[in-house]
A and B are shown apart, each in its own frame.
Chain A
């Protein structure tokens, strides 16, 4: 049995934050779960995927976050509990749906898991999605540790049913990827069939209906506020004169700091776990007890501004500080030491932090950026394009493993914004300039957000080449399937779509499909695309070797070595291809046979035919 399905209340387990959320969903008796993967949220749906059959609920990896949200909304409006998970930028994609779904509301519990990523461990920006609660009017809750990630998920469903609104549970990377003790609770029976009750004056958001719905949403705010005032997740802790307001994982930094500094009797902490609507009465009560306030929140001054406005409306005049030079920054992640130091300096107590060792003697260390794996087919395609187009072509790129091609010596990404933007920006750049444009998009990203832009390119006669890097999986986020993947080996019944047919269906007439590991043929395809005056697509089709290994489809191959008698030190293999299995030792080009997967590409690139297979299998 999947460990998250074990029906023994009070069992304790060390769980990843994301596992705790998945367990919470199980305890809440979800009927439908949807997602589009994205770090740091991916382990939630990945756990759903490995247990949904056994667990008796429906799960899908949806094409993108907007679709995922709509699927979950349809289910919850039809009366069954649903959950939808995404990373913070996924919320942007889903936001059109989100804003009006808030008007419609739901009939059974619906929870949206939103994972923010302060410091951008694995994201293109660090937007603060607490603003989405304010923008949409949906309630937001923020757990502090693994146990609460489980408990709050369960409670969020009840809250959602009380308010008949989707509830947003917001996490940050630290919470998603911590492991902590979680005590299980009871598993609720799943209600898996609902019924869609027609009510066009509620569910058809035309202006006449929406005017009414918006009024209802505004009224629900008061109801939500009442629940927030009485929520166990909002707490005033202590009764000192120094006030500290905090949320999420920052609560643990604050509590540790207060202990370390020995100021427990001087401090009152206001912890906001049900953080939108903000519990106004509780905040007023807190403000009247303290002399000055420090707001400890990562990213934007969201609570700080709200609390200031509450103070102003009640004519409470005390210092309320947070984001300020010498206090907290709007940038990046917090850490316990930084929070301790800031609390110490704001309240004027001696700082107890240990001194960091003197690191001035450490030499400049070589960088260790993440890199395309040895034998990655993306690298082979980049090589072919570079050979044909040279260094001057512009390469809009997209988000996935292949973005790592930005690193020298490949240097094959010139502009990256968000999923799907490679195609749209190619349209603009090719229209605005006389430069050649060859853009790159991954297969999962193509399905997610590339298709409307490709249709745009065809319809408006744009001229560029789009390379679809079809590695048969969503590699970056952990090999989730997408619409182009055959899921039969995973024991799941979905329909596989052909990217080539999709591209032709978008109206592209010039389509080539190549195996990037065949270097000559790939170069040939690149040349043909270069000579074509219009929109053309190259589908670069070869499984991600890591994924191939995982699904036991890896071809047996022999690792390669460099024959030192033949090698003339052109270094083409290293300077143009830069497979990380290669290295230079004592002036000689070498291949690490443990890392080499025998993809043969370097052997095809070497002008001296000096790279040869070893006798044994990799």
Chain B
């Protein structure tokens, strides 16, 4: 990283010493100023909550300054802002963040919103019984951000919506549940009859998948050939060991849980790359659950291509045109830039690449 110029420091310091503290992590004045404003706002909110008064006494003023200084220092040494403030907005939700659980990313927010739009548009809610009970499954929950946002975006259109989520780390499941309660309490989410359920599970565990199918089948009284889950989503660990050392930001490397980012070595896949193991499993799960929509987040366009290819191979048998695969970029509803291709040939098929930015997700749609 290039060194910051002295004059920049001097300018920051003249405005506020806090700004100078934030400058090394933020790298430029504009983002340092934004972060300082958010930290300030956080301090004011915290204090007005605890004291409940509008007028600030000199003591609270001093306490505020002390807290502000402490938070800026923490941020200044590289702690992610979301851990410093304890939260990150995600769509219309407020997601609590804690060390040990991955921070929700804006790219994830973008594809989740895009998916919700598609699910609304492509589901005939008038069809008897069919659409009212959309079942969503979020694997590799983390903070629960994906499942919760989908619920909040879809609950109006699907009165009998249900969301299930699983994570192998109980810290994540605990946080996801807290986020459920937190957002329900703020009225951002409605959770009648426990339509949202977050549980511990290792998605590689065959017994877990078997019980999921049994449970899903029983819900309808008899085993059916239709989908067990309508929407399957996952943002699994997808960074390679090399990519972790080389491409991640320092505050990611130093402060976020590596187990959420880099898949553990699994000998299971013969020819594939180790960072793709989760997709192999997710596609198996998808085949069993017969979901109408699936979105898996990926690390870049290359990985997107590999996952799309795996998906095409996996569903070759089901018949032409039944399964459609798309690749979404970071901002799927934005106009692509000139140099960004809008389709790719994969296994002899022309696969659409939607939006603008890095390759970010693989979307798989199955006609029912």
Are both chains from one complex?
Answer: no
Query: Which residues does B use to contact A, with CB under 8 Å?
Result: none
Query: Which residues does A use to contact B, with CB under 8 Å?
Result: none
